[in-house]
Amino acid sequence: MSRSKIIIVEGAQGAGKTTITDYLRYVIKHTNLYRLSGISDATPTGLEKSKKMYFDLLEYMKKMENLDINLLFDRTFFTEECYCRLGKKEYSFTEVYDKLLKMFSELDFDIYYFTLYLADVQEYENRLKREGKVEPAYAKFTAENSIAQQNMYLKMADEIKEKYPNIKVVNIETGKDIELTKKELLDILN
């Protein structure tokens, strides 16, 4: 029996995470989808909440080992680190992130970390037209914010790839035909 998978999908607002994770949820058997939005508290109190939430999440993942269930996440603690590195929070998350990442890399799963990005960053203007959507100030949907997030996520992906070779780190360009993107993902995961 092959090991189950943990699939993390990260990327800027508008990169296509919802589309991709919804698709993967339905085409990969025995897959549970988790959509995390993080802690909206940008104060130091938010750091304590985030620490608790993400260490508990890693414990949950650990409990799911060897159950023949794939875990698919639309955002996790990587998002918290990205937002903190961009100065969107009043605290640093890096010390916690490093511990979480080490624990994550030691899980008994085939681990995939996908960063979704747009080669044509101007496409964010079209994708972020979200009428009536309410978002916290630190996560305001603008092309400028998405481009900064994208650059940070790509940098973080490179760091993960270098430090943890057992994590399959793949950057997926989502500006092409969606069917090509879906095929690319399935080729990687099969």
Predicted pLDDT at 39 = 82
Predicted pLDDT at 37 = 81
Predicted pLDDT at 125 = 87
Predicted pLDDT at 67 = 92
Predicted pLDDT at 188 = 96
Predicted pLDDT at 140 = 63
Predicted pLDDT at 141 = 73
Predicted pLDDT at 135 = 56
DSSP the chain: -PPPEEEEEEE-TTSSHHHHHHHHHHHSTTEEEEE-------SHHHHHHHHHHHHHHHHHHHHTTTSS-EEEEES-HHHHHHHHHTT-SSS--HHHHHHHHHHHHTSSSEEEEEEEE-SSTTHHHHHT--TT----GGG---HHHHHHHHHHHHHHHHHHHHH-TTEEEEEEE-SS-HHHHHHHHHHHH-
For the chain, 190 residues long, the average pLDDT of each consecutive 10-residue run is 87 95 96 90 93 97 94 97 95 97 97 97 84 54 91 98 98 95 95
CATH 3.40.50.1980 fits 5-189, yes or no: no
Predicted pLDDT at 1 = 41
